[in-house]
Structure 1
Amino acid sequence: MLEAAERIFGERGYQGTSMDDVAAEVGVSKPLIYQYYGSKDGLFLACLARLRAQLLETVSDAVMAATDAEDALYAGFVAWFQFLDDHPQAWSVLIDEGMLSTNPAAGPAAAATDEVRAAFIELISAMVRMNLPPGRTADNDEIEIIAQSISGATERLAIWRSRVPAPPTPEKVARTLQDLLWQGLQTLSTT
């Protein structure tokens, strides 16, 4: 059920998906889906939770397997973009514009979508903190600015890659972004 729902939410968005669509795709009755998930919001939240866990695990594993901070940045970016390539509807579900917390009709699904972003920002912040040079005091505002910037950059690149006919490989995007950001992150050691 969740795989079909993720695919339909990814193709049609939250607003364009009905429980009838999901039931027809899976070959079950609509009441059965309601029995399992309670509502369309419940089904969307289940899809989002599953995708969030898979994506966080994929990126975290790549970062933790890296040999140093520079490699961790690159590996995390590759894992992020490769996951989105391997699960094309995942990105649409994760960033469904109808789920923005500024949309009052979006309800709890919007909050859950914001939680996905927050989890990645926490992961990025932790990585920056762990790799501060010895003796460098952590500036919480600075770390938050860096984490928000990296999160925003990866989201925009993912959107761009989903819209171009022949997007660059995850490795090329990761290397370019890592090269750009690494220079700035290196200045943390002297500030």
Structure 2
Amino acid sequence: MQSASPFRTPAQKEAERAAKRDAVLRAAVRMFNERGFHATSLDDVAASLGISKRTIYHYLANKDQVLLECITIGLHQLLEAAAEARREPGDGRHRLTRFLRRYAEVNMEDFGRCVIRTGVEALSPESLPRYRQLKREIDDALRTMIQEAIDDGSIAPVDVKLAAFTLAGALNWPARWHDPDGQLPVETIAVTMVDILTGGLDPRP
């Protein structure tokens, strides 16, 4: 019988590295959200994890990259929500509503909150193209779902661009006012907000 090797396999090493990188990002995003990007140093992040700043550099090059990765995670969560909503059965309004509810939830979670609270102005010029591309994909997904709901008659004909700005603008704000320790669950807040907002999309007789 072959004894178990005391050495980690390449897959185990990669999994460990990914877990440590994720821990750095999660510690950083919470500090960015609480203190602000400029008021947070990598020394602060390292201290919260009980490691040295040099250790962080094994996983991420600098604070700008940490911020970009945090924002990218939040934006990818929104893109995944859009993709999941598009696979839903039912009419266009149903798919739009599912996306909007998840959109609101993401913005009340760590990485989505960072997208809104930190803002584009904190990103380095090198990071802007990646941010803008992901943001454009999310905007396009929202507008497409609004248009599809108009086309199948499940919502009223509206200005698609203006409707997208209105819905996204309203659902971005919980990132700033939502209290994670508050009484209402994130899901309840999301459902209530989306119900209020989509009432204005009801088809007219």
Q: TM-score, normalised by structure 2?
A: 0.68
Residue-by-residue CA offset, 1:108-145 (whole Å, 9 max, x unaligned) = 487365555433311111112333427xxxxxxx4323
Residue-by-residue CA offset, 1:74-104 (whole Å, 9 max, x unaligned) = 212221223344x2x334311124x343xxx
8 Å contact 1:100–1:110 — kept in the other structure?
no
- Could you say which residue in structure 1 is the equivalent of 2:9? none
Number of residue-to-residue matches in the alignment: 172
- Could you say which residue in structure 1 is the equivalent of 2:117? 96
Q: Please state how far the C-alpha of 1:163 moved relative to its aligned partner.
A: 9.6
- Could you say which residue in structure 2 is the equivalent of 1:179? 199
8 Å contact 1:94–1:113 — kept in the other structure?
no
Question: Identity over aligned residues, as a percent?
Answer: 24
8 Å contact 1:84–1:91 — kept in the other structure?
yes
SS in 1 for 2:38: coil
Distance verdict in 2 for CA 1:96–1:156, change over 3 Å:
closer
Residues 1-191 of structure 1 aligned to structure 2 (within 5 Å): 1-85=24-108, 87=109, 89-97=110-118, 99-101=119-121, 106-108=123-125, 111=128, 117-133=135-151, 142-162=159-179, 166=183, 169-180=189-200, 182-183=201-202, 186=203
Over the aligned positions, Cα root-mean-square deviation in angstroms equals: 3.1
8 Å contact 2:27–2:48 — kept in the other structure?
yes
Distance verdict in 2 for CA 1:96–1:17, change over 3 Å:
same
Counterpart CA distance in 1 for 2:70 and 2:112 is 12
Distance verdict in 2 for CA 1:74–1:158, change over 3 Å:
farther
Q: Please state how far the C-alpha of 1:153 moved relative to its aligned partner.
A: 2.1
Q: Which runs of 5+ in 2 are unaligned?
A: 1-23, 153-158
Distance verdict in 2 for CA 1:163–1:36, change over 3 Å:
closer
Residue-by-residue CA offset, 1:8-56 (whole Å, 9 max, x unaligned) = 2222121121100111122322122224221100111111112221232
Higher share of residues assigned helix: 1
8 Å contact 2:72–2:131 — kept in the other structure?
no
SS in 1 for 2:151: coil
Counterpart CA distance in 1 for 2:26 and 2:182 is 25
Q: Which runs of 5+ in 1 are unaligned?
A: 135-141
Q: TM-score, normalised by structure 1?
A: 0.72
> What amino acid maps onto 1:169 in structure 2?
I
> What amino acid maps onto 2:170 in structure 1?
A
8 Å contact 2:96–2:149 — kept in the other structure?
no
